[in-house]
Amino acid sequence: MNDDNRNRFISLRLSFPLIIVSILAAVIAIVFALNATQLEKFAVSNKRNRLRETAELVKAAADSNFSEDTFSALENKLRTSNIDIIILDNVYETPVVLYATDLNQGRIISKLLDIYENENYELSEHTEIYEQTDEYVILSLFQNDEAGYQLDCVGACGDAMRFIMTTPMESIRDSVSISSRFLLLIGMAAIIIGGIIMYIATARLTDPILRLSEISDHMADLSFDVRYDGQDSNEIGILGRNMNHLSDSLQETITNLRAANEKLGADLREKEQLDEMRRLFLSNVSHELKTPIALIQGYAEGLTEGIADDPESTRYYCEVIADEARKMNEIVKRLLSLDAIESGKMQITYSDFDLCELIRGIGESSRKLASGKDVRLVFDLPDELPVHADEFMIEGVLQNYFSNAWHYVSDPGTVTAYYRDVYGRARIYIRNTGTPIPEEHIHHIWDKFYKIDKARTRAYGGSGIGLSIVKAIMKTHNSRCGVRNTEDGVEFWFEVEKCRTSGDDGYDSEYGTLE
């Protein structure tokens, strides 16, 4: 989550309680407003209904001559409705009280009778008519400062009977006031307590959501180690398990993409290397063939133009042409051999043969390459050394090693061939005295066409392919080869598998035990 989003972020644990508290406050405010403005009207309407019902009971009682049942129902209604009543008989034109619950309202009774008899409803500015019928009138009347307003009902029961009912209005207003204050206190307490409870309760909901938010941040950074470990069975639990599944799927997909990308990168690098090798190969081949072709062309043109005008010159020109053609043929044959070995077209024919006998024969036959140098050939070999390999290919390895040894040996010098047993394999060393190989070149001499001294190599007909062929042959045999500088020269070596009957001491006296 970036900084801007964090600045705008409001925790759900705080948001939910704020929302609930706001809703509670709004509801309580509405209820408080309705209570303050409508509760009194509702109470007055309810009292009017009770007065109306009581008036019907009075009429029923008068019609039944105040029988016990009707009179009992009337008394019960008066008691439960907090209504005072006075029933008057006006037979002798002087009101006589037949029944009364409170006689301490004489002045008010007279005023009410006067209002009813004379229909003088505007007797007081504090009088308000709520309902008027032929049988009764319901109105409010200001009694006095102490008693305040009261709700009255004045009516007739037949021709001679009158009734007056009254119930206080101030109690209603007091009840409304008390109810409003109580509602305000209860509302404030409900808001505070509800907010606290909601804040605590939302932790169960918000903690998993915050955990999911952290997981999504890790997923956005392509880190899929964080897992949702909640066991909720609700929607949040389902979402957490789905995020775990999504994380696994993304991790697998990204891993596959990375592997494919790495493979593609490796393929591209391999293609670049192949292109570079192809370019170098063509460049080297062109370079190697350019000189003999130029010599052949030059001497052939000389012969054509008659420059060699005597048999001796003609023979020299022809010898040069033949020698350069031989070198070209040798390069081509070596390239074909190297390609056949590397591509697997040349099949290995394993056989058991005496390697020491092969070394002695090639060493002696290659002595002519010393070109008149004072060189001593030394063999430090056992009488026989049976090995299991392709004799023709191993012969090619020895020819290349001895060729290099004879051409680069010092004058006077020594070429030595010796053997060591290395963990059951025969390691053959061909060492010559002379100038060591510069360290910056020693790792490149196995590359195709690589030459340290191009002029000297050209002088004895080297092509720079021989050691590449050696490396390819050893790779085909699943064996190793190498080179190192000694105190007085250079030493090449290679390994071949010994026959099962050969000894195995696993120790090299020159290098010690190999690991």
Q: Which domains does the chain have, with CATH numbers?
A: 12-177 (no CATH), 347-498 (3.30.565.10)
Give the chain's end-to-end CA distance (angstroms, integer).
54
pLDDT digits (tens, 9 = 90+) for 29-55: 888 788 778 877 888 888 888 888 888
Cis omega (within 30 of 0) for bond into 412: yes
- Identify whether the C-beta of residue 448 lies closer than 8 Å to the C-beta of residue 338: yes
Longest dimension (CA), the chain: 189
Specify burial of residue 362 (Cβ count, 10 A radius: 0-12, 13-18, 19+).
buried
- Gap between the Cα atoms of 410 and 190, Å rounded: 109
- Gap between the Cα atoms of 210 and 149, Å rounded: 62
Q: Which of 73-87, 130-144, 403-417 has the least mean pLDDT?
A: 130-144
DSSP state of 443: T
Confidence of residue 430 (pLDDT cuts 50, 70, 90): very high
pLDDT digits (tens, 9 = 90+) for 347-389: 778 889 999 999 998 888 888 777 778 889 999 999 999 999 9
Beta bridge partners of 494: 428, 481
pLDDT of residue 452: 62
Would you state the structure tokens that stand for residue 13, as one six-digit string? 């644990």
Q: Which residues contact 5 (CB under 8 A, 6 or more apart)?
A: none
What are the b/e assignments for 123-149, b being 16+ CB within 10 Å? eeeebeebeeeeebbbbbbebeeeeeb
What's this model's pTM, rounded to 2 decimal places? 0.43
pLDDT digits (tens, 9 = 90+) for 276-329: 766 666 655 665 566 677 777 776 777 777 776 677 777 777 877 787 777 677
Q: Which residues contact 180 (CB under 8 A, 6 or more apart)?
A: 32, 35, 36, 39
pLDDT digits (tens, 9 = 90+) for 55-93: 888 888 888 888 888 888 888 888 888 888 888 876 656
Three-class secondary structure of residue 69 per DSSP: helix
Q: Which residue did the predictor score with more confidence, 13 or 26?
A: 26
Q: How much is the mean pLDDT over the chain?
A: 77
